[in-house]
A and B are shown apart, each in its own frame.
Chain A
Amino acid sequence: MSWTKKHLLDIESLTAEEITTVLDTARGFKAVGERAIKKVPALRGKTVVNLFVEPSTRTRISFELAAQRLSADIVNFSAEASSFKKGETLKDTALNLEALNADFIIIRHSASGAPHFLSRVLDAHVINAGDGAHEHPTQALLDTFTIREKKGKIAGLNVTILGDILYSRVARSDIWALTKLGANVTLCGPSTLVPKTFEQMGCRVTHDVDEAIRDADVINLLRIQHERQRKTMFPSIGEYTQLFGLNKARFAKTKPDALIMHPGPINRGVEIDSEIADCSRSVILEQVTNGLAVRMAVLFLVNGGKALPEPAQ
Chain B
Amino acid sequence: MPEATVILDATAIQRALTRIAHEIAERNEHSTEVVLIGIPVGGDHLAARLAKILSGIWNHAVPVGILDVTMHRDDLDQRVAPTVHPTDIPFDVTGKTVVLVDDVLFSGRTTRAAMDALNDFGRPKKIQLAVLVDRGHRDLPIKADFVGKNVPTSLDEKISLLLTESGAARDEVILKKK
Contacts and interface: CB of A to CB of B under 8 A. Distances in A.
Nearest to B117: A40
Contact of A41 (B71, B80, B81, B88): B71
A303 B79 CA distance: 9
A202 interface: no
Contacts of A222: none
Contact of A301 (B71, B77, B81): B81
Interface in A278-300: 297, 300
A3 B81 contact: yes
A113 interface: no
B71 A42 contact: yes
A24 interface: yes
A56 interface: no
A304 B80 contact: yes
A300 B72 CA distance: 12
B165 interface: no
Nearest to B122: A36
Given A28-B86, A297-B84, A40 B71 contact: yes
A3 B80 contact: yes
A37 B72 CA distance: 14
A225 interface: no
A289 to B, nearest CB: 16
Given A25-B83, A29-B84, A303-B81, A42 B68 contact: no
A1 interface: yes
A116 interface: no
Interface string A47-80: 0000000000000000000000010000000000
Nearest to B77: A303
A1 B71 contact: no
Contact of A28 (B72, B87, B116): B87
B68 A28 contact: yes
B120 interface: yes
Interface in A128-185: none
Given A37-B120, A41-B71, A300-B71, A1 B76 contact: no
Which 8 residue pairs across A and B have the least CB separation, nearest first?
Answer: A304-B81, A28-B84, A40-B71, A37-B120, A42-B71, A304-B80, A301-B81, A25-B84
Interface of A: 1, 3-4, 24-25, 27-29, 31-32, 35-37, 39-43, 70, 297, 300-301, 303-306
8 contacts: A1-B83, A28-B68, A28-B70, A29-B84, A35-B121, A37-B121, A300-B84, A304-B76
